[in-house]
Amino acid sequence: RVQAIKNRGYITVGLSADYAPLEFHATVDGQDKIVGADVSLAKKIAKDMGVKLQIKEMGFDALIGGLKTGKVDMVISGMSKTPERAKQVNFSKPYMYEKQIVVIRKSDKSKYKNVADFSGAT
């Protein structure tokens, strides 16, 4: 399969671009792009294989089916490994743990309680 991808010249990644900062739409140089940490990872994989990356955007619930039927070569979409999913597809080792946290000063503790508090309203 890897050889087939190399011969074809591109690898397809399935993702649901509604999950910032991992995959989301952004306007870059006036153009709508799908960007994020997962997109960077997918690009790196493609680059290491010496092929181009083709992003196939689909609903999150369609990703595993898309992978099973060969519509995409891999899924990188902030997907957590669950026992149910692991019955259907093969998961890599984790590349991210959800333990990264925004840090603020003790003195600001009462000022910033949630993300909205950062928007400058107060």
Residues that bind ligand ARG (CB under 6 A): 15-16, 18-19, 23, 60, 77-80
Nearer to ligand ARG by Cβ, of 99 and 113: the residue is: 99
Count of CB atoms within 10 A of residue 96's CB?
A: 12
Q: Minimum distance between the CB of residue 13 and ligand ARG, rounded to whole angstroms?
A: 12
State in angstroms the smallest separation of the CB of 40 from ligand ARG: 15
Nearer to ligand ARG, 3 or 80 (CB): 80
Residue facing ligand ARG at closest CB distance: 19
Contact 13, 56 (CB under 8 A): yes
Shortest distance in whole angstroms from residue 38 CB to ligand ARG: 8
Q: CB of 54: closest distance to ligand ARG in angstroms?
A: 17
Three-class SS of the chain = CHHHHHHHCEEEEEECCEECCCEEEEEECCEEEEECHHHHHHHHHHHHHCCEEEEEECCHHHHHHHHHCCCCCEECCCCCCCHHHHCCCCCCCCCCCCCCCCCCCHHHCCCCCCHHHHHCCC
For residues 24 and 112, which CB has a smaller minimum distance to ligand ARG in the complex?
A: 24
Considering the complex, state which of residue 18 and residue 117 has its C-beta at the smaller distance from ligand ARG: 18
